Amino acid sequence: MKLNSWKPLFMALVLIRAAAAFSQESDDAKLIEAARREGKVVWYTTMSTDHSKQFADRFHQRYPFVKPVVLRSGGGSLLNRAIAEANAGKHEWDVIHGTGDMVMPLKARNLIVPFFSPEAKMIDEDLKDQNGYWTAVYVNPVVLGFNTNLVKAAEAPRTYDDLLSPKFKGRKISFDDNYFTFLQGLINAWGREKAVAYLKKLAAQDLAVMGGTTVRVQLAAAGEYPMLIAYAPIIQNYANRGAPLDWLALEPVVLSITTVQLADKARNPNAAKLFINFSLSKAGQQLLWESNRVPVRKDVEPKPPRLLRGYKRIAVHPEGYKDYEETIKSYTEVMKSR
């Protein structure tokens, strides 16, 4: 084939790409203009008050014609509020950020609808719903932290079974009284019988059990106990500030995910889609890291990258919370009987 014969094909490809780019820009422009007409977005979130304000402010800086109205609460309270409002015929929120266990109750009541954000292409397949009902915004890996003054890295446990060694018995491991998602992740990975049996063996190590990840990390840094099962970004944050802490990934690492969903009866659906796009965009994801969260975009590396890279993981999907009440019951009973 002569070189000149490629020119028509080359030009056709150029035109196709240009048309696709124009279509995307046109779609974005239409969404932005529609959001401008709506003028606000109501965002329900489990993110802390200071961080949610910072996130909303940054969104407003980028889109000053859309005013974000933020309601922040804990996962259970936020879910109950959304359901109660719907039962009363009210539909106040447009978009929601929440823990994974919130999604299926909302979906079962037809309170959320699919939305395929163009930003989701930069997120791993195991962190988004193929049907578009949810996408992870950030994650919390559950890892083994340790006080580096009390435990040498070479001698730290490397597997879940290593934690069962007699030398780690006697309040040497701090454990949370309500890490239900941790048990759910192990159930999804190993099956319920094996996971609950393991938790019983771990509890028999005479764990130091209390609530509150941040306070437990602080106590570990102070030498109250040598090790703890906790969220990696909180441990890493204190380590970055000079605390004698480090952590290891016990595989499979359980990922607790925070998701974003679009309301079925959103009063401001276009502003909601714009907010979801921002949540998943590079700018939005970088902002999440500034708030000591683990972003999920492929082109936004956590600091350090090992917070999300280099280990086998089990992301607890919303669909993976099947029989979650039974999981909570099992977890509570094991912790009480230790």
- What the chain holds in terms of domains, given with CATH numbers, is 13-137+256-302 (3.40.190.10), 140-255+319-337 (3.40.190.10)
- Cβ neighbours around 30 below 10 Å, total: 11
Work out whether strand 208-210 and strand 313-315 pair parallel, antiparallel, or are unpaired: unpaired
Q: Give dist(CA 261, CA 243) in Å, integer.
A: 37
**SS3 category, 231:** strand
Question: Please, what sign has the CA dihedral across residues 96, 97, 99, 100?
Answer: positive
180, 182, 187, 188: CA torsion to nearest 10: 110
pLDDT at 322: 83
For residue 334, CA distances in Å to 113, 174, 178, 195, 311 come to 37, 15, 11, 12, 28
Angle in degrees, 0-180, between the axes of helices 269-280 and 49-62, rounded to the nearest 10: 110
Element holding 40 (H helix, E strand): strand 40-45
pLDDT at 29: 92
pLDDT at 27: 56
- Do residues 302 and 290 touch, judged by C-beta distance below 8 A? no
For residue 267, CA distances in Å to 42, 112, 117, 149 come to 9, 13, 19, 54
The model's pTM is 0.88
Cα 121 from chain centroid (whole Å): 17
Instruction: List the structure tokens of 95.
Output: 């978009």
- Do residues 82 and 111 touch, judged by C-beta distance below 8 A? yes
Return per-residue pLDDT of the chain as tens, 338 residues: 444 444 444 444 434 443 443 334 445 899 999 999 999 999 999 999 999 999 999 999 999 999 999 999 998 899 999 999 999 999 999 999 999 999 999 999 999 999 999 999 999 999 999 999 999 999 999 999 999 999 999 999 999 999 999 999 999 999 999 999 999 999 999 999 999 999 999 999 999 999 999 999 999 999 999 999 999 999 999 999 999 999 999 999 999 999 999 999 999 999 999 999 999 999 999 999 888 899 999 999 898 999 999 999 999 999 999 899 999 999 999 999 87
Closest to 70 in 3D by CA, of 100, 35, 46, 36: 46
- Cβ neighbours around 1 below 10 Å, total: 5
**SS3 category, 256:** strand
Instruction: List the structure tokens of 294.
Output: 């683990």
Q: Where are the alpha helices (DSSP H) in 144-242?
A: 180-190, 192-203, 213-221, 232-240
